[in-house]
Amino acid sequence: MVPSQVKQNFEVSADRANPIRDMFNAVAPRYDFLNRLLSAGCDKYWRKIAVDELEPVANRVFLDVATGTADIALELASRDASPSSIIGIDFSTTMLQLGKNKVTARNMQSYVRLFPGTAENLPLKNDVFDGAISAFGARNFSDLNHGIREIYRVLKPRGKIVILEFSFPQNGFLQWLYRHYFWEILPVMGRWISGHKNAYSYLPDSVEGFPKGEAFSAILKENGFDSVNFKELTFGITTIYTGFKHA
């Protein structure tokens, strides 16, 4: 049965060429392993801290945008004895299938539902979610402002948005060290393990081009969110952004 938050008749255009989607489909089988390895396990910690930001939210009907293999959705569902209702959206059908396998393995099918879709065209009704989260997905929105506006549309009044994204340490030496790892070591390891020649070169390029700190906070404000804040994690390697939809 389709959840009430999902439009009854929606179509996802999967035929249009999308090299980013194709890249994620290609690396999906090794995606979780590479996340753990290349972040030295920090990715699990970052996701937990991001989900913490949604803990006080009432009613607990959540959206996970760019859910990938459903790590965030499953973290949300595992937080209490009466799990939240979570819908995950992703444009990679291979990622979604792996996510569905994980949901089934943990017997969370009643609480976590995954659907194909893009941030720019969410197959969801207006004003239906108490909170929305995206972990390492906003960089891949084809139109960042449009994607943020779509998330705003589907949130209830006073619904909360949480965005977790990569950034750079502010300390000069740490930034140099991190950039060396990010541009010189990570792409080589990623290519070797994933078998994809471009995927882990795309990652540092996409992080470099993503607006950070006050710049991304301004984008959230421009697209309707208020009480916008951000905080850096792990010396600034990642940043969590939060905001609320106008009442």
Going across the sheet that includes 129-135, the strands are 112-116, 85-90, 61-65, 129-135, 155-166, 238-245, 225-233
Alpha helices in the chain (DSSP H): 19-38, 42-52, 71-77, 93-105, 144-154, 172-180, 186-194, 199-209, 214-222
CATH number for 40-169+211-245 (one of 2.30.31.10, 3.20.20.150, 3.40.640.10, 3.40.50.150): it is 3.40.50.150
What one-character DSSP code corresponds to residue 86?
E
In a 3-state reduction of DSSP, which class is residue 178?
helix
**Where are the domains positioned within the chain?**
40-169+211-245
90, 117 Cβ separation under 8 angstroms: yes
The span from the CA of 12 to the CA of 91, in Å, is 9
The span from the CA of 214 to the CA of 170, in Å, is 14
What b/e sequence results for 139-166 when a residue is b if at least 16 CB atoms lie within 10 Å of its CB, and e otherwise? Answer: bbbeebeebbebbbbbbbeebbbbbbbb
Could you read off the pLDDT tens digit of each residue along the chain, which spans 247 residues?
A: 678 888 876 555 555 668 888 888 888 888 888 888 888 889 999 999 999 999 877 778 999 999 999 999 999 998 876 667 999 999 999 999 999 999 999 999 999 999 999 999 999 999 999 999 999 999 999 999 999 999 999 999 999 999 999 999 888 898 899 888 888 888 888 788 888 877 778 888 888 999 999 999 999 999 999 999 999 999 999 999 999 998 7
